[in-house]
Structure 1
């Protein structure tokens, strides 16, 4: 029982990390209908910004806030000066461009920050809580991670379901010409979508780095699992992204704890294939097939 509880709590925390990254992918998909494969190195860059400030004597929370703000600005700049050049072209052009940006940002980070491993602090304890005489596998930073993902989820749900701004962003993503005719500033909405997605991605980078080691490639593995989590829940659903992340985290933790860590990638692939075969749009997709 103790091992099962430890495995489940570890999976819950891991799932929250995957959910944070999946939320960034879902946000940019809902706002622009593009899958941004450069989300991971963008988050890595902003994490390094926080680390440089913390090493310079700033508090963790000051570095945290500046990193989030840097993500907001970086996302807007990428959309305005990179993605905008393929606006109106087939969506695959933008996807390929984000893959190229993935490589470029990696190289720039290695040049500017170096390739060595560097420790990143955590604002809360990294040891499990004591319950009676037992230590459970849930840390203060794990609680912070879960709470932060919950706040982002609530914010996105309110944005897209309860505000005119969210409606304009979705309209700009689905049909730009019609949205322009209705008075929507499409360019601004797309820039805002990229900025908010980069902010959510920056949060995921900070959560993954907390109490661990960072280097230019430390986010690369999260791209795969975060994308799987987003697809599991449905790329159109913020709630689905969180549920997909938690399901994936719990599943991979159980596989690692009871079967073997070497089978974790295979388990993620099997879970993804099962969902795509049974419900291709994801578990929480709202799209319905139209029959005529």
Structure 2
């Protein structure tokens, strides 16, 4: 029983890493209607920006806030100068552009800071506590609680604020939104800026656990995309719950399913995607989209 609880706790901790990135992907999709494959690279860039300020003896929390602000500006600039040129066209083209942007941002990080692992300080203290026979690190617990707070704030943004409703309207139908008087261009910039800022928070939460490298988010991005598909592209809660489920089921399958083991546990999220897409294509928490033709 103690082993089972430890596997669940470790799975929730790992799932929180996936959830941090999944929330940023959901935010971009809710704001612009796109799936941003560059989100992992932008999160890494933001973490490096915070790291630079920490090296200048700026307090960690201040460094992260500065990185969040800079990332917001970078996200808005990327939307205005790059993504906007492809908006209104084939969505697949814009997705390919975000993949190219991921490669570019990762290359820039590697060129400036190199590929050496760097230790990023944690917002949360070292040490752990014992819960039902399982050891829970304070760092993992802090990351878990931070993800819960961010998830609830995003859900409140999209469902309970005028800005959130405007962002959703623009992502669904930009032309009708413009005719209704909404500043579509400005809202798209805000959406990308918010997603980049959220990526900065995600990078700062994840970097202490993974160590800071240009490819830090590559594997997490795959799992985050799986969580978004399973949970629902339009549901922050769904993305987080799915990310936690992936982390837990991976750990359990690696130990209790002999033919999977640790070598094949990466197949778990893809099996879940296959099952969910057959039973509920919009995701566990997603909404069906009705298109008038």
TM, length-normalised to structure 2: 0.93
Offset of residue 127 of structure 1: 3.1
Q: 1:24 to 1:53 in 2, by over 3 A?
A: same
Please give the alpha-carbon distance, in whole angstroms, between the structure 2 residues aligned to 1:186 and 1:279: 32
Asked if residue 155 in structure 1 is aligned to residue 153 in structure 2, the reply is yes
Q: Contact 1:9–1:138 (CA<8 Å) still a contact in 2?
A: yes
Does residue 281 (structure 1) correspond to residue 279 (structure 2)? The answer is no
Q: Equivalent residue for 1:262?
A: 263
The structural deviation recorded for 1:212 is 3.8
In structure 1, the residue corresponding to 2:166 is in which secondary structure? helix
Q: Deviation string for 1:217-276 (max 9, x for gaps)?
A: 111001100000011110011111111111111111212343422112111211111111
Q: CA deviation at 1:211?
A: 4.1
Give runs of ≥4 in structure 1 deviating > 4 Å: 288-292
Asked if the contact 1:120–1:212 (Cα under 8 Å) also holds between the matched residues in 2, the reply is no
Secondary structure (helix, strand or coil) at the match of 1:263 reads: coil
Q: How does 1:72-83 map to 2 (within 5 A)?
A: 72-83=72-83
Pairing 1:219–2:220 present? no
| Equivalence map 1:138-177=2 (5 Å) | 138-177=136-175
Partner of 1:87: 87
SS in 2 for 1:118: coil
> 1:149-203, CA deviations, whole angstroms, 9 ceiling, x for partnerless residues?
1121121111111111111111111111111111000001111111111122222
CA offset at residue 70 of structure 1? 2.3
Shift of 1:45: 0.4
Deviation at 1:89, TM superposition (A): 1.1
The CA RMSD measured in Å over matched residues stands at 1.9
Sort the Cα spacing of 1:182 and 1:68 in 2 relative to 1 into closer, same or farther, 3 A. same
Give the TM-score normalised by the residue count of structure 1.
0.94
Distance 1:213 1:290 in 2: 44
Q: Gapped runs of 5+ residues in structure 1?
A: none
Whether 1:208 and 2:209 are equivalent positions in the alignment is: no
Deviation string for 1:87-115 (max 9, x for gaps)?
21111111111011111111111111111
